[in-house]
Chains A and B, each alone.
Chain A
């Protein structure tokens, strides 16, 4: 059984795309071979990649497909043969099946007698199948961004294709894609080996051939080589280690075919720049690894991963070049830092007047004023809950929070917005609480990132975001469809995440009220913002916390009462309640009640559709059947307890209480006919059911949880 080796040579593939494309190529190739019945059950697959190639190697490929005997059924016998003579229908079927008419047989099935033919399908050679199908397979590899390169735009790929290698055993498979015909040649390292092809005489020599051409196609081997080389180079600095950074190791693994590592240094004077700045420059801008001492303090060194191997003279040149670039970058940063210190943050508050936040909404200065009002009100709202907020620090932090937008360092390193403000606040003696709050105001960076550690930072982040959301909604710039140019959805998730993780006793309703403040037309505005936040809460519960969609829908569809007291108003309540609902789904009684609620909902809807006008409340004295009297009695009995359980956030107990209604509900449906011919009886029963449904739907729409 031969092996199949396929390699696509490409101009440098973006590092971030390689791993997924390698997996995609492998899976698709295996699927193709399986689909074509061309692979043994004990096949093995290996795959490779470098920036300039994707390759897959499958062992246990069959030379050709097995022949197939296929039974085809045609028209009914009566139509195909009249008086034992074949009709036109028989001739047509025989032609379609590729057999002579006299080879047609009678097939008897349960439905009657039909014409049948046994068709012999000879298997195709694997080479033919692969040559025919690999081009389309290559073309369907998924790339986040691809391109055309040939005139007439016949195909797209991530970058222009350079060569193809396709071997089945010792033979070339003539795959053709992108104007290139596959051969048995690959290419080595562009500089170290030069621009001449490398013959792969047989598949087993592929790795060795590439290695002798200075290419390590095994990703894991390259990763290990890089890690070892990082370790080895770092040993030149006594007591130092390189700062672990898996994603950077990944990136440089996919940026190199033949990696080596060089240690470089920078002047220790740059260490007076904050570590955040130094690491951002090294990691994000230069893809260098930082070096630290055993206590984790940065050392004046860096490690760069080369895609080449050089002698010591070359190493000196490359080190010198990289050090020069890094020095220039650090110089920029220091220049900005020093320039920025000439105007302290307090002196920049006024400058915010000329930094436009949004044309209709004014400057960041105006936004800061509003942020102040909101942050103070939020802090006041917390006094009862016993959270201690350093109000003076909060006020200073909010006042200075946006001033780093005027700083040169932030203009240069926009990803350090907030962080730079925090660092400047610390350097300018504003104290730790202020510095921390400013530093962490944009946290969490994502739905699973960490939130600010201090209450001041949390409140600053909430105030800033809710202010933006309300302001944008007020001028009609809310997100629509896939468009969310001001990232309001992310801002809302930020608020929800901070509330969830901090447990701050603030309701969504309350936050929106505070942010709207003295604005006009606040009833519709409030409704729109609250419903937006609730929709985001549903997203958070589903996508971030992993609750079942039906749980989230049930919870979010609760029928209000006072919105400020509803469960979905407090993020922590909403999470706790979703957990309780999830747990209750294990209770048969509870599920039965949910099903009953769904039934009630349908009955009421049908009745309303028929124009049945039933009152909101039932008349207890007018109930007649024992089961309905019992149900009404039980409802009466539970009401007070249920109300206090909800008020005291004892949701699990409240749900258990609801589940305990099952015997009465079951009995009611077993023995009572709701749609009684007597109108008064019928309407009273509908009112009873409606009352039952409305009462408990205050906390969730339980009908959503009924099994379907």
Chain B
């Protein structure tokens, strides 16, 4: 999940954002042979925090805006509750069905990174390939016209990716190395979070408490100052955002390992819990960094 969503839904500040993003799901790769299934597809993602009272109406108007005459179609909001166990995030909502085609995932986020959200966010995720294929009335995603004059199709742009990443994800990715990568990223993320907690957790360190302070040097001169101003500056520059990147890398490696069939049903639970720990740690650190009344807010 993009940091623009995962992190921005946290905390009390109103925030709205819309952006296109690729979504990679290794297990969904089909070597470019399946007309409806992709390893990497594009989403248009909208976050409205807090959601306006007429969010459904605005959403429907967005469909009209891209040329869908709702009076000539059948549209339904069917229950679909989104959940991302690796990120300890969930919400309730719908899949929006247009003439039997799921075109949008509509979610009211309730929890993210283990944090109960207040305000909550409305998340609207448009499936761009599906909508494009629908609007262009083509049976295969690969036949979507990406641009005209000269005609460039989705196949021209994306087929090689689908084929080659399917080969890598299913056949040639080295499972041992994937695990090594996983452990490295996990350790790096964990070390950052530990440093953050040691320096900024709202409690004094116990006597003799000691962690592997791999990232202690990041704080530089500020970490030794005892006036609150330098502590706040040190906090602002602490790399919480990179910590989330590292967590995302773990999440992607987990998906790769899963696609390779390298994770058993029982192991799954444990690996998911490890990534969730990171995500929860990042969410907490992000909130602590953003805490209202701190200089980070005042100075902006």
Tell me how many residues of A have a C-beta within 8 Å of chain B: 55
Residues of A147-205 whose CB lies within 8 A of B = 147-153, 159-160, 162, 190-192, 195
Known: A325-B101, A331-B35, A335-B33. A12 touches B77 (CB 8 A): yes
Cβ-based interface call for B56 (8 A): yes
A contact residues around B134 at 8 Å (CB): 321
| Interface-located stretch among B15-23, B178-186, B222-230, B261-269 | B261-269
Residue of A nearest to B60 (CB): A190
Inter-chain contact A355/B267, CB cutoff 8 Å: no
Q: Which of B53, B57, B100, B110 is the one whose CB lies under 8 Å from A147?
A: B110
Known: A160-B53, A321-B98, A325-B99. A307 touches B73 (CB 8 A): no
Known: A307-B75, A307-B76, A356-B267. A331 touches B101 (CB 8 A): no
Inter-chain contact A318/B139, CB cutoff 8 Å: no
Inter-chain contact B76/A318, CB cutoff 8 Å: no
Q: Which of B72, B98, B120 is the one whose CB lies under 8 Å from A313?
A: B72
Q: Which of A145, A306, A322, A356 is the one whose CB lies under 8 Å from B263?
A: A356
- CB B144 to nearest CB in A, in angstroms, measures 13
Cβ-based interface call for B34 (8 A): yes
Cβ-based interface call for A255 (8 A): yes
Cβ-based interface call for B71 (8 A): yes
Cβ-based interface call for B74 (8 A): yes
Residue of A nearest to B73 (CB): A318
Separation of A16 and B80 alpha carbons in the complex (Å): 12
Task: Annotate A310-347 by CB proximity to B: 1 below 8 A, 0 otherwise.
Answer: 10011001101110111110011001000000000000
Inter-chain contact A255/B51, CB cutoff 8 Å: no
Separation of A190 and B57 alpha carbons in the complex (Å): 9
Inter-chain contact A359/B73, CB cutoff 8 Å: no
Q: Which of B34, B70, B92, B264 is the one whose CB lies under 8 Å from A145?
A: B92
- CB B135 to nearest CB in A, in angstroms, measures 11
Cβ-based interface call for A440 (8 A): no
Inter-chain contact B266/A318, CB cutoff 8 Å: no
Inter-chain contact A321/B101, CB cutoff 8 Å: yes
Could you jot down 26 A-B contacts, CB within 8 Å? Answer: A14-B79, A51-B77, A145-B92, A150-B119, A151-B50, A152-B118, A160-B51, A160-B108, A190-B60, A192-B71, A286-B100, A288-B100, A304-B100, A307-B75, A310-B71, A321-B73, A322-B99, A322-B100, A324-B137, A324-B139, A331-B36, A356-B262, A357-B265, A358-B265, A358-B266, A359-B264
B contact residues around A321 at 8 Å (CB): 73, 98-101, 134
A contact residues around B120 at 8 Å (CB): 147-149
Cβ-based interface call for B249 (8 A): no
Inter-chain contact A314/B92, CB cutoff 8 Å: no
- CB B98 to nearest CB in A, in angstroms, measures 7
Inter-chain contact A16/B73, CB cutoff 8 Å: no
Cβ-based interface call for A485 (8 A): yes
Separation of A358 and B35 alpha carbons in the complex (Å): 34
Residues of B183-212 whose CB lies within 8 A of A = none
Separation of A11 and B71 alpha carbons in the complex (Å): 19
- CB A209 to nearest CB in B, in angstroms, measures 21
Separation of A179 and B263 alpha carbons in the complex (Å): 48
Tell me how many residues of B have a C-beta within 8 Å of chain A: 46
Residue of A nearest to B37 (CB): A332
- CB A308 to nearest CB in B, in angstroms, measures 5
B contact residues around A16 at 8 Å (CB): 79
Separation of A358 and B268 alpha carbons in the complex (Å): 10
Q: Which of A11, A145, A256 is the one whose CB lies under 8 Å from B56?
A: A11
Inter-chain contact A317/B264, CB cutoff 8 Å: no
Separation of A634 and B76 alpha carbons in the complex (Å): 77
Inter-chain contact A11/B77, CB cutoff 8 Å: yes
Cβ-based interface call for A15 (8 A): yes
Inter-chain contact A485/B269, CB cutoff 8 Å: yes
Q: Which of B35, B74, B118, B263 is the one whose CB lies under 8 Å from A307?
A: B74
Cβ-based interface call for A354 (8 A): yes
Separation of A692 and B183 alpha carbons in the complex (Å): 67
A contact residues around B261 at 8 Å (CB): 354-356
Inter-chain contact A149/B51, CB cutoff 8 Å: yes
**New contact pairs (17) apart from A148-B110, A354-B261, CB-CB < 8 Å:** A11-B56, A11-B77, A12-B77, A15-B79, A148-B120, A151-B50, A160-B108, A162-B53, A256-B76, A321-B101, A321-B134, A322-B99, A322-B100, A325-B100, A331-B35, A356-B265, A358-B266
Residue of B nearest to A331 (CB): B35
Task: Annotate B82-101 by CB proximity to A: 1 below 8 A, 0 otherwise.
Answer: 00000000011010001111
B contact residues around A51 at 8 Å (CB): 77
Cβ-based interface call for B81 (8 A): yes
B contact residues around A359 at 8 Å (CB): 264, 266-267
A contact residues around B30 at 8 Å (CB): 335
Known: A153-B118, A195-B57, A321-B99. A356 touches B264 (CB 8 A): yes
